[in-house]
Amino acid sequence: MNKESVGIVETKYFHISEPIKLDSGEEIEDVSVAYETYGELNKEKSNAILVCHALTGDAHAAGWHEGDRKPGWWEIVIGPGKALDTEKYFIICSNVLGGCKGTTGPSSINPKTGKEYGLDFPVITIADMVKVQKKLVESFEINQLIAVIGGSMGGMQVLEWMVRYPTMMKKAVPIATAALSSPQQIAFNAVGRQSIFSDPHWKGGNYYESGVIPRNGLSLARMIAHITYLSDESMDIKFGRGLQDKDEISYDFSVDFQVESYLKYQGESFVKRFDANSYLYITKAVDLFDLTVNDSLIEGLKNVEAKVEVLSVDSDWLYPTEQSTDIVTALNANDVEVSFSEIKSNYGHDAFLLEKGQLNFILANFLSESIVEDLMMENIATIKATANVQDAAKLMLEKHVTHIPVVTGDNKLIGIVTSWDLSKSIAMNSNHLNDIMTTTVKYCKADDSIEDISRKMRKFDISCLPVVDDDMTVVGLITTDQISNLLS
Of residues 151, 158, 153, the one with CA closest to residue 175: 151
**Residue type at position 75:** E
* 50 vs 137: CA distance, rounded Å: 8
Residue 98 one-letter amino acid? G
Residue 204 DSSP symbol: G
CA distance 414 to 351: 53
Which residues, including other chains, have CB under 8 Å from residue 208's CB and lie 6 or more apart? 107, 115, 116, 118
Q: 149 or 239: which carries more pLDDT confidence?
A: 149
Q: Among residues 152, 312, 315, 370, which one is catalytic?
A: 152
Across 108-129, b (16+ Cβ under 10 Å) vs e yields bebeeeeebbbeebbbbbbbbb
Residue 470 has pLDDT above 60, yes or no: yes
Q: Catalytic residue at 295?
A: no
Three-state DSSP class for residue 143:
coil
pLDDT of residue 447: 80
Q: What is the pLDDT of residue 486?
A: 60
Share of the chain above pLDDT 70, in %: 98
CA 318-102-166 angle, to 5 degrees, is 60
pTM of the predicted structure, to 2 decimals:
0.80
Secondary structure letter of residue 118 according to DSSP? G
Lowest-pLDDT range of 62-66, 163-167, 196-200, 389-393: 389-393
Return the percentage of the chain with pLDDT > 90, whole number.
72
- Opening angle at CA 464, ends 145 and 137, nearest 5: 15
Cβ count near 41 (within 10 Å): 16
Continuous H helices in 169-212: 183-197
Query: Residue 417 — φ and ψ, nearest 5°?
Result: -125, 135
Phi, psi of 350 (to 5 degrees): -70, -5
Local structure of 126: helix, strand or coil? helix
For 115, 380, 384, 451, the CA distances from 465, given in Å and listed in that order, are 57, 12, 17, 14
**Strand (E) or helix (H) holding 137:** helix 126-139
- Residue 423: what pLDDT? 79
Which H or E run contains 338?
A: strand 338-343
C-alpha–C-alpha distance, residues 289 and 487, integer Å: 37
For the question of residue 350 being annotated catalytic, the response is: no
DSSP bridge pairs for 54: none
Answer yes or no: is pLDDT of 138 > 50. Answer: yes
State the distance between the two ends of the chain, measured CA to CA, in whole angstroms.
Answer: 24
Q: Nearest CA to 172 among 446, 378, 367, 451?
A: 367
Kindly report, residue by residue over 332-373, the tens digit of the pLDDT: 999 999 999 999 999 999 999 999 999 999 999 999 867 788
Q: What integer pLDDT is reported at residue 407 of this predicted model? A: 92
74-81 average pLDDT score: 97
List the one residue out of 288, 269, 272, 257 whose CA is nearest residue 193: 288
d(CA 63, CA 86): 11
Q: Which of 15-19, 174-178, 345-349, 377-381 has the lowest mean pLDDT?
A: 377-381
65 catalytic? Reply is: no
Alpha helices in 289-345 (DSSP H): 297-300, 321-333
Per-residue pLDDT at 488: 44
User: Hey, what's the torsion of the CAs at 429, 431, 432, 438, to 10 degrees?
Assistant: 60
Contacts of 454 (CB under 8 A, 6+ apart): 480, 483, 487
Give the chain's mean pLDDT: 93
Residue 11: other Cβ atoms inside 10 A: 16
* Rounded Cα gap, residues 440 and 460, in angstroms: 12
CA separation for the pair 393, 406 (Å, rounded)? 13
Q: Quick check: 5 and 62 in contact, CB under 8 A?
A: yes
Catalytic residue among 316, 350, 374, 421: 316
400 — pLDDT class (breaks 50, 70, 90): confident
195 has a pLDDT exceeding 90: yes
Whether 273 has a pLDDT exceeding 60, the answer reads yes
pLDDT band with cut points at 50, 70 and 90 for residue 1 = low
Q: How many other CB atoms sit within 10 Å of the CB of residue 25?
A: 7
Q: Give residue 369's pLDDT.
A: 65
Choosing from 275, 315, 324, 349, which is the catalytic residue?
349
- Our CA angle for 50, 51, 56, nearest 5°, is 140
Looking at residue 485, its pLDDT comes to 65
pLDDT at residue number 385: 84
